[in-house]
Structure 1
Amino acid sequence: MVDTLRAEKPYRIGIIGDKSSLVPFWELFANLGNERVLGQLGLVALALHDKAPVGERFSATLNLPVHAGWRDMLAAHPELNMVIETTGQQPLIQDLRLGLPPTVSLVERAAASFFLRLLSSDQMWVACKVDLMHTQTLLKNVIDQLKEEIVLTDRNGLVLDCNKALMDRLGVSKSEVTGRHVRDVFHLPETPSGNDNGGVSPLEQALATLQPSEATLPQVDDNGRMHYVREYFYPILDDAGAVTSLLCIRRDITNRTQMELRLQQSERLASIGEMSTYIAHEIRNPLFAISGFANQLLREAQDEKAREKLGIIVAESRRLDGILKSILTFARPSESAPGLADINGIVRDTMDLMGMACENQSIQPILALTKDIPLVKADPELIKQCLINLVKNAVEAMPSGGLLTVRTGLAPSHVILEVEDTGVGIPPEMRDKVFSPFFSTKGKGSGLGLAMIKKVLDDLGGTVDLTSIPGEGTRVSLLLPPHLAVAKAEATG
């Protein structure tokens, strides 16, 4: 029975009536939209009761042949299997019931009006559905092209939908993201620190204030690299002002933040350089006199306690002079001698020099040197000093011993020199400060080691890359410009 009901039967329909009844009836057909819909209905011909010449067209839109009566219409169109009566006149209906053959179904005016209105509603629904699907596809394509990660959640923060950027970063499908809390997919901490909302999560702030909230959060990826992300939370409210859902956007602003930090550091270094040069020169003159007189008194003193105190003065004077030299070296432009540096040779010489310090702290040095790497266009002494500073930092980060790996390699446009330790690592909140002058995590020294390295690399046209995972270790990579063959050709030409 079900299959019989579902079976498609082609209908060939004739309409019976007069002009007064067909005009409002035809308006229902016109409201259905277009000729495609009329073709689906299977309209074939008209039969009029009032006077009308045979073969006349009822109207320009109703392009159907007109017959003088329904019997003429059936004779001219034997394929008809349904007629629709539009007048509602009982004599005509009775005549049709008695005269129509069994193969032709009769649909009276009331039933026809009902089904036509139903069809009109169905066509409108289909049109709306098509428009909605088109709009939905367009919106999805636009959102999926954005680099920002976009997530729609319910009022409890559970993911309802997301765009392609988020799925690509997580490496999962949408079904695996749906239902998870936005904290999991955005890696939001329960009690964030270091953001610009006073330590309050922007998610909680948006829910509490019912206002958009945003914050910049530092995050460390699985490889120990620092990222800065800007996260936005927009509560979506109903008419009563209650939160129904949340629109969450996550944008990686690491490159922009790095450029801003470099600009700030350049301005800070310029001011520090001018001030440091002036102060160092002013201090060195009286320091020279203090050190000279202290040395003379030390040679002449006979009392052991006096000699001990004078020795402290001389030692501290020398230490202060060393700090002043570091400040002056940092403040002045790098006066590196032009030359070519053999990175592998510098690593071997430096590790021979630092081997005793590693052995004393139970540190195992590992050299992973790549053969046949090009020379570096730089002063070998400057590169050696940078490497010594990095090795010293690594040794100090492993007071209980560990592994110290120095490796070299070749990138598409740089020679790589890396120093990696298995020490305590650097906390995320200190990651931005390690290249700042006079900043130290060890409580001693001038804090100019990494700042000097960065300055040297900037002058050479290279870069410094730092990755660190607290409790696992730190890796500092120097990307140095290679000596190109074209440079040699130009020089000899």
Structure 2
Amino acid sequence: MINNMSPIVMLKEIYWISHFLFFSLILLLGSLTRGIYLKDIYKSFYFNLAMLGMLGSFFGFLAVNYLFLRAIEERFYSGKYYYRIVYAVVLTFFALLFTVFSNGEIHKLIYVIPVALISLTSGSVLGLASSVFLGYDIFLHPIQTDEISFILCLALLAWIVGQISQINFRYALQLENEKNFLKDLIETFSEGITICNSTGQVLLCNKQIEQIFKINKSEILGKSETLLWEQCSIPYHKWMPNFMNMETQIDDRTFLINRFTLKGPEVKENCFVTVINDITELQQQKNKMQRLATLSAVGELAAGAAHEIRNPLTTVRGFIQLIQAKWPDPKLADLSRLSLEELDRVNGIVTSMLQLARPEQAESKLLNINDIVNETWDLYTYSGMRKGIQYEKHLDETVRPFAGSDKQIKQVLLNIMQNAERACNRGDTISVRTYGDDKHTCIDISDTGRGISPEHIEKILHPFFTTDPAGTGLGLAICDRIISDHNGTIKVTSELGVGTTFTLAFQVVNDNENKASKNHSK
């Protein structure tokens, strides 16, 4: 399992524990060698003096550890020697002071501890210097052969521990840099990345995971990866250890997932790297291109067949009208009227196909969506109000203008409002809401009607798709074409028995374009 603790912090903790044990050992040895026990302190006349000494030792402990932390920071981050020298001097002085008030038989061995700590924290040079000072203290007493050996061993200990410390520092720095490099590397990817151990526990992830799943990294690190995939259309427990380009759905988003197995940091442990790409917008663009391709095919068909269809229609219509004039039979008149209505219906379909293929080109100008809604509100609501449908209007006065044809936008809104009316019954509600931001102006047209089934929701913008026996299936396709020509988007959400919402979004005109448009109009 990957340890999330910094290697430098781990090394600091090791040295901190070493200091704590050192001072604890000093206190224990001092008490034992002088035959002083806690119960004796409380019974003696020197209770206050003992308490004062213990208090001084405590503050001394804090001071030395403060110097230790600053010395460590110097060694890791600056390379200076100020705090390291002060730390070595204070610790050496403390060791010398301790031997003055303790039994002389143990003072030689106790020097091993400060020399080792100074070498670990400050390096071989200062460790050797401290061993020299402590050795000088030994020379003040009668010299014996074993003491000379001890001084040499003390110096050798300082050098060896200092070298080991240097290796540890370099290794900790290397690990820290590699760990930071790995974290920075995965943050540069536009895809979401998670690294999990063999049990599915998330060891590492990048910022994109937060954006994709709307969850903070702190809430997923150390937790099971299944938290991300609870609503996945392909259950997590059915995933293979390795796969490529698995497409899945979560709510209304589409993801493309790749998964790889890597050798883990522990022996005989594998890690799984999951690369997650949100392709929702790409899928929407793909569907839009498919619809445009269909529209183009319909347009070519309409352009080629309209002339050939309309000429016979005109001829047949003329003959029927002639029959009505020549033979005013009531039964024949009803048949003639029905024939003319069907001919007009065919002609309307041809006209819609031509409009789908080549929408009427109108002059583009700055439009305010609120003005368009207000100008045509009575037209949109008159028929539905007679059926008992309620209408609501919520307009945001701060929406920004966009460029387009007011005639075509009115046509789009009228078509969607009529569809909403057909989906509603008495007592239902149709609401229109406008809103926006610095980039888009949006309008929602919602109803509480019967809704659209999930299998139909993706097809309703396709040409000739309709669930209305009397419809042609071209109305919403024309709306989609007009919105695309305005560089906008159309989105449909629906739930059976609850209602449907059409969301139209248009790119707003920035201030520079707005000024240029006004100057051009002048």
Aligned to 2:129: 42
Aligned to 1:206: 240
Aligned to 2:347: 321
- Which structure carries more helix by proportion? 2
Aligned to 2:475: 449
Q: CA deviation at 1:374?
A: 7.8
For 2:287 and 2:335, locate their aligned partners in 1 and report how far apart those are by CA, in whole Å: 45
For 2:517 and 2:240, locate their aligned partners in 1 and report how far apart those are by CA, in whole Å: 58
What is the DSSP-based 3-state SS (H/G/I as helix, E as strand, rest coil) of the residue aligned with 2:123? helix
Go from structure 1 to structure 2 and tell me whether the alpha carbon gap of 1:154 and 1:312 turns closer, same or farther (over 3 Å shift).
farther
Aligned to 1:80: 136
For 1:34 and 1:370, locate their aligned partners in 2 and report how far apart those are by CA, in whole Å: 66
The reply to whether residue 233 of structure 1 matches residue 262 of structure 2 is: no
Aligned to 1:436: 462
- Which structure carries more strand by proportion? 1
Q: Identify the match of residue 476 of structure 1 among 489, 503, 512.
A: 503
Q: CA deviation at 1:457?
A: 3.5
For 2:387 and 2:201, locate their aligned partners in 1 and report how far apart those are by CA, in whole Å: 51
Q: Identify the match of residue 489 of structure 2 among 464, 478, 485.
A: 464
Q: CA deviation at 1:125?
A: 4.0
CA contact 1:82–1:106 (8 Å) conserved in 2: no
For 1:243 and 1:429, locate their aligned partners in 2 and report how far apart those are by CA, in whole Å: 44
What is the DSSP-based 3-state SS (H/G/I as helix, E as strand, rest coil) of the residue aligned with 1:150? strand
CA contact 1:202–1:214 (8 Å) conserved in 2: no
Q: CA deviation at 1:321?
A: 1.8
Letter in 2 for 1:37: S
Q: For each residue in 1:18-59, what CA deviation from the matched residue of structure 2 results, as whole angstroms up to 9, or x when unmatched?
A: xxxxxxxxxxxxxx99993242243767xxxxxxxxxxxxxx
Query: How many residues in Structure 1 have an aligned counterpart in Structure 2?
Result: 407
For 1:232 and 1:340, locate their aligned partners in 2 and report how far apart those are by CA, in whole Å: 45
The root-mean-square deviation of aligned C-alpha atoms, in Å, is 4.5
Aligned to 1:335: 361
For 2:200 and 2:402, locate their aligned partners in 1 and report how far apart those are by CA, in whole Å: 53
Go from structure 1 to structure 2 and tell me whether the alpha carbon gap of 1:182 and 1:314 turns closer, same or farther (over 3 Å shift).
farther
Aligned to 2:145: 96
What is the DSSP-based 3-state SS (H/G/I as helix, E as strand, rest coil) of the residue aligned with 1:404? strand
Go from structure 1 to structure 2 and tell me whether the alpha carbon gap of 1:246 and 1:443 turns closer, same or farther (over 3 Å shift).
farther
Go from structure 1 to structure 2 and tell me whether the alpha carbon gap of 1:374 and 1:485 turns closer, same or farther (over 3 Å shift).
farther
Go from structure 1 to structure 2 and tell me whether the alpha carbon gap of 1:146 and 1:203 turns closer, same or farther (over 3 Å shift).
farther
Go from structure 1 to structure 2 and tell me whether the alpha carbon gap of 1:381 and 1:163 turns closer, same or farther (over 3 Å shift).
closer
CA contact 2:128–2:159 (8 Å) conserved in 1: no
Q: Identify the match of residue 379 of structure 2 among 353, 365, 369.
A: 353
Aligned to 1:215: 246
Q: For each residue in 1:404-445, what CA deviation from the matched residue of structure 2 results, as whole angstroms up to 9, or x when unmatched?
A: 222345654665544233445556766554443333455652
Q: Identify the match of residue 203 of structure 2 among 146, 150, 160.
A: 160
Identity within the alignment, %: 23
Go from structure 1 to structure 2 and tell me whether the alpha carbon gap of 1:331 and 1:370 turns closer, same or farther (over 3 Å shift).
same
Q: CA deviation at 1:96?
A: 0.9
CA contact 2:135–2:151 (8 Å) conserved in 1: no
Go from structure 1 to structure 2 and tell me whether the alpha carbon gap of 1:337 and 1:112 turns closer, same or farther (over 3 Å shift).
closer
Aligned to 2:174: 131
The reply to whether residue 151 of structure 1 matches residue 194 of structure 2 is: yes
For 1:129 and 1:433, locate their aligned partners in 2 and report how far apart those are by CA, in whole Å: 59
CA contact 2:264–2:271 (8 Å) conserved in 1: no
CA contact 2:317–2:340 (8 Å) conserved in 1: yes
What is the DSSP-based 3-state SS (H/G/I as helix, E as strand, rest coil) of the residue aligned with 1:328? helix
Structure-2-length-normalised TM-score:
0.62
For 1:374 and 1:248, locate their aligned partners in 2 and report how far apart those are by CA, in whole Å: 41
Q: CA deviation at 1:312?
A: 4.4
Letter in 2 for 1:96: T
The reply to whether residue 487 of structure 1 matches residue 514 of structure 2 is: no
* Higher alpha-carbon deviation: 155-164 or 422-431: 422-431
Structure-1-length-normalised TM-score:
0.65
Unaligned runs of 5+ in 2: 1-20, 27-60, 62-90, 97-118
Letter in 1 for 2:245: E
Letter in 2 for 1:40: G
CA contact 1:342–1:375 (8 Å) conserved in 2: yes
Q: CA deviation at 1:334?
A: 2.3
Q: Identify the match of residue 297 of structure 2 among 250, 271, 291.
A: 271
For 2:382 and 2:440, locate their aligned partners in 1 and report how far apart those are by CA, in whole Å: 31
For 1:35 and 1:480, locate their aligned partners in 2 and report how far apart those are by CA, in whole Å: 63
Letter in 1 for 2:243: P
Aligned to 2:310: 284
Aligned to 1:72: none
* Higher alpha-carbon deviation: 399-408 or 328-337: 399-408
For 2:405 and 2:334, locate their aligned partners in 1 and report how far apart those are by CA, in whole Å: 42
CA contact 1:433–1:439 (8 Å) conserved in 2: yes
For 1:485 and 1:458, locate their aligned partners in 2 and report how far apart those are by CA, in whole Å: 25
CA contact 1:203–1:213 (8 Å) conserved in 2: no
For 1:256 and 1:487, locate their aligned partners in 2 and report how far apart those are by CA, in whole Å: 32
For 1:203 and 1:409, locate their aligned partners in 2 and report how far apart those are by CA, in whole Å: 42
Go from structure 1 to structure 2 and tell me whether the alpha carbon gap of 1:427 and 1:250 turns closer, same or farther (over 3 Å shift).
farther
The reply to whether residue 366 of structure 1 matches residue 400 of structure 2 is: no
For 1:479 and 1:237, locate their aligned partners in 2 and report how far apart those are by CA, in whole Å: 49
What is the DSSP-based 3-state SS (H/G/I as helix, E as strand, rest coil) of the residue aligned with 2:446? strand
